[in-house]
């Protein structure tokens, strides 16, 4: 009898969308049919619009704050799928896509994920609750995204139910490498373990030992902070302060916390280097306030904002000080550039973000380029006035290079790698199957092949390691003002395996050396004949210089025995 109850329980049907306030077609952002469907999750809007402090009804709210950079990420996925469909990789088999806007909200992302998991070719949106999903056929075969680690973790726990492959192009939280907790998750970027290691390497070799860090109050921020703290402890670097900001724009305490963070930065005058693990909208607000208060520091940027045009074009951004950042390695961008140049002025209804972009662009027709992104974001929060078709067409063509200026090459390349990895895995899986039939394979079969796939792009070979990570390395970038514009220049490559920075020429090597001119220490260096005196209540980086005892001496200057981070190796230079 007990066994019978269990069997009955294992085949209960759970209705996902019974009389919804929104239809599934309203919910989807962009879609295109195909033999094999790939899902996509992108935070095209920055937040949910709600008049309440917290939800009172279980319904999806309106999304506001159109994000140009994430919109470009969706275009990168669409372009990559079109590249595969126009190639001979999957002969006779077409990839389709179904892309959803998460609105930077975990709940919205989970609602979209339920749709991905719903039963294929069913008259109603349902998810069958089973004890064994080996023969279950869901709506999509795999998911690209989500971007932000906090959202990705929630989505991944749901996709694990059917072992549906999830390939992220941005989520870097170290915990996602744990295949016990996230068995169907893979990513085309390194984990934050390597990014924090590279950051501390740069800090320690630049002679800095007294730094601040700003993160978000979520899984991404807390995990990055924890990993960074472990790395600093092992390298005699001290964290003077740790500031934590609310993770999402819908939290109305963000402005208060940003002001408190700026007060801390001003109070800690000896801290001139600050590591920033924040999302772009956090940094945008933080830097605007910091410029008003004349705060000038050296900022170490995480990969999530280090190449953000939205931030480099802030008026008077040069007053913020120096920005050194880590970004994902870039690939060949020529094909994507051509794709952006050929976007339709009047897109079809199956691409709502592109339609919204065209309308917003027309609404902001008379705004100068430097303010266009903010205008688009602000206008998407209200009701747009009607614009004639000729206005949309004229403004679309006039701003032809606007999207290209906001393109972040590292993210585009990571998205391309995610789509290509799926494409090559599907090719391998379909060699002995008729994949024009959508029932040819289940997601868990694709996952098994995907984990072991190897492919080439731009002459480089790519594969996932045992943790599902694609350790492509980082580029180190420096923000420099050139001809009145803030420009992102590449300083070096960071090699994960060797833990070295590789510099191609003498000019960029000198840029690295110039970082040593910045002073960010708790205490001054002791002179010869002096020794450091610390107390238990102090950091090891904070001490007093006292004269050596009788019959003892010191003939060295400094806090620690630093060695030069720049070798004399012939080009390319290896910065060990």
Residue 244's pLDDT is what?
96
Calculate the dihedral angle through the C-alpha atoms of 28, 29, 35, 36, rounding to the nearest 10 degrees.
Answer: -90
Count of residues making up the chain: 576
Domains and CATH numbers, the chain: 2-191+407-463 (3.40.50.2300), 192-331+473-515 (3.40.50.2300), 335-397 (no CATH)
Inter-residue contact 139 to 36 (CB < 8 Å): no
What is this structure's pTM?
Answer: 0.88
Among 41, 27, 65, 270, smallest CA distance to 147 is for 41
Q: Is 279 left (phi over 0), alpha (psi -120 to 50) or beta?
A: beta
- Rounded to whole angstroms, what are the CA distances from 300 to 203, 217, 379, 421, 544? 9, 19, 32, 31, 28
Inter-residue contact 149 to 182 (CB < 8 Å): no
E strands along 342-484, which residues? 454-457, 460-463, 474-482
φ/ψ of 456, rounded to 5, equals -115, 150
What sign for the dihedral angle of Cα 28, 105, 40, 307? positive
Residues facing 142 on adjacent strands: 38
pLDDT digits (tens, 9 = 90+) for 297-354: 999 999 999 999 999 999 999 999 999 999 999 999 999 999 998 888 777 789 999 9
Residue 390's pLDDT is what?
54
Token pair recorded at residue 380: 């998407």
Among 474, 12, 541, 526, smallest CA distance to 232 is for 541
- Rounded to whole angstroms, what are the CA distances from 264 to 118, 222, 553? 49, 19, 38
Token pair recorded at residue 485: 């514009």
Residue 553's pLDDT is what?
57
Question: Would you give per-residue pLDDT tens digits along the chain (576 residues)?
Answer: 444 444 444 444 444 444 444 555 566 889 999 999 999 999 999 888 765 666 677 777 788 889 999 999 999 999 999 999 999 999 899 999 999 999 999 999 999 999 999 988 776 778 888 888 889 999 999 999 899 999 999 999 999 999 999 999 999 999 999 999 999 999 999 999 999 999 999 999 899 999 999 999 998 999 999 999 999 999 989 999 999 999 887 788 999 999 999 999 999 999 999 999 999 999 999 999 999 999 999 999 999 999 999 999 999 999 999 999 999 999 999 999 999 988 887 777 899 999 888 888 888 877 776 677 888 888 765 545 444 455 656 566 555 678 898 999 999 999 999 999 999 999 999 998 999 999 999 999 999 999 999 999 988 899 999 999 998 889 999 999 988 889 999 999 998 888 888 887 788 788 888 888 999 998 888 888 787 777 645 678 888 888 887 666 555 555 433 333 333 333 444 554
CA–CA–CA angle 435, 37, 437 (5° rounding): 25
For the chain, the 3-state helix, strand and coil shares in percent, each to the nearest 5, are 35, 20, 40
pLDDT digits (tens, 9 = 90+) for 6-35: 444 444 444 444 444 455 556 688 999 999
Token pair recorded at residue 373: 């992104």
The burial class, CB within 10 Å (0-12 / 13-18 / 19+), for 132 is exposed
Helix (H) or strand (E) holding 30: strand 28-32
Using the structure block, give the residue that is written with the tokens 């996230």: 182
The burial class, CB within 10 Å (0-12 / 13-18 / 19+), for 365 is middle
Tell me how far apart the alpha carbons of residues 442 and 29 are, in angstroms, rounded to a whole number. Answer: 25
Tell me how far apart the alpha carbons of residues 415 and 167 are, in angstroms, rounded to a whole number. Answer: 9
Secondary structure (3-state) at 452: coil
Calculate the dihedral angle through the C-alpha atoms of 199, 202, 203, 204, rounding to the nearest 10 degrees.
Answer: 120
The burial class, CB within 10 Å (0-12 / 13-18 / 19+), for 553 is exposed
**How do beta strands 321-328 and 297-301 pair?**
parallel
Inter-residue contact 120 to 139 (CB < 8 Å): yes
């Amino acid at each position: 009898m007990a066994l019978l109850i269990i069997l009955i329980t294992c085949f209960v049907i759970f209705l996902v969308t019974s009389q919804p306030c929104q239809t599934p077609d309203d919910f989807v952002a962009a879609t295109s049919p195909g033999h094999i469907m790939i899902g996509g999750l992108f935070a095209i809007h920055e937040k949910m619009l709600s008049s309440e402090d917290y939800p009172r009804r279980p319904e999806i709210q309106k999304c506001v704050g159109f994000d140009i950079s994430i919109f470009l990420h969706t275009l990168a996925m669409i372009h990559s799928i079109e590249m595969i469909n126009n190639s001979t990789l999957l002969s006779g088999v077409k990839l389709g896509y179904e892309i959803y806007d998460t609105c930077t909200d975990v709940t919205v992302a989970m609602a979209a994920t339920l749709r991905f998991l719903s039963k294929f070719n069913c008259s109603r949106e349902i998810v069958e609750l089973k004890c064994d999903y080996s023969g279950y056929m869901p709506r999509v075969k795999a998911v690209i995204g989500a971007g932000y680690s906090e959202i990705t973790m929630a989505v991944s726990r749901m996709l694990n139910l059917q072992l549906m492959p999830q390939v992220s192009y941005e989520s870097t939280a170290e915990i996602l490498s744990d295949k016990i907790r996230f068995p169907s998750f893979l990513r085309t970027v390194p984990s934050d373990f390597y990014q924090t290691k590279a950051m501390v390497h740069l800090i320690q070799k630049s002679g800095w030992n007294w730094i601040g860090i700003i993160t978000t109050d979520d899984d991404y921020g807390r995990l990055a902070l924890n990993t960074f703290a472990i790395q600093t402890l092992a390298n005699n670097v001290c964290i003077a302060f740790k500031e934590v900001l609310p993770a999402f724009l819908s939290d109305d305490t963000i402005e208060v916390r940003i002001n408190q963070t700026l007060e801390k930065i001003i109070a800690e005058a000896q801290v001139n280097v600050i590591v920033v693990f924040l999302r772009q909208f956090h940094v945008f607000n933080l830097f605007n306030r910091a410029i008003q208060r004349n705060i000038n520091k050296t900022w170490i940027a995480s990969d999530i904002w280090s190449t953000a045009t939205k931030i480099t074009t802030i008026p008077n951004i040069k007053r913020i000080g120096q920005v050194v950042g880590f970004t994902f390695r870039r690939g060949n961008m020529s094909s994507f550039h051509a794709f952006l140049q050929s976007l339709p002025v009047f897109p079809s209804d199956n691409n709502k973000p592109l339609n919204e972009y065209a309308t917003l662009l027309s609404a902001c027709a008379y705004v100068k380029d430097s303010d266009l992104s903010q205008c688009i974001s602000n206008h998407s929060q209200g009701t747009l006035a009607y614009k004639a078709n000729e206005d949309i067409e004229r403004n679309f063509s006039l701003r032809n290079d606007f999207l290209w200026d906001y393109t972040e090459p590292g993210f585009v390349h990571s998205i391309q790698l995610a789509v290509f990895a799926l494409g090559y895995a599907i090719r391998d899986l379909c060699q002995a199957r008729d994949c024009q039939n959508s029932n040819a394979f289940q997601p868990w079969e694709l996952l098994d092949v995907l984990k072991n796939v190897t492919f080439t792009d731009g002459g480089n070979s790519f594969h996932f390691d045992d943790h599902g990570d694609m350790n492509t390395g980082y580029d180190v970038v420096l923000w420099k003002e050139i001809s009145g514009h803030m420009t992102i220049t590449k300083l070096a490559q960071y090699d994960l395996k060797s833990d070295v920075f590789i510099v191609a020429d003498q000019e960029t090597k000198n840029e690295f050396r110039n970082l040593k001119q910045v002073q960010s220490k708790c205490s001054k260096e002791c002179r010869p004949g002096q020794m450091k005196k610390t107390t238990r209540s102090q950091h090891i980086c904070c001490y007093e210089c006292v004269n050596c005892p009788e019959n003892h001496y010191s003939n060295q200057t400094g806090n620690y025995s630093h060695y030069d981070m720049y070798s004399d190796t012939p080009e390319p230079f290896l910065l060990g």
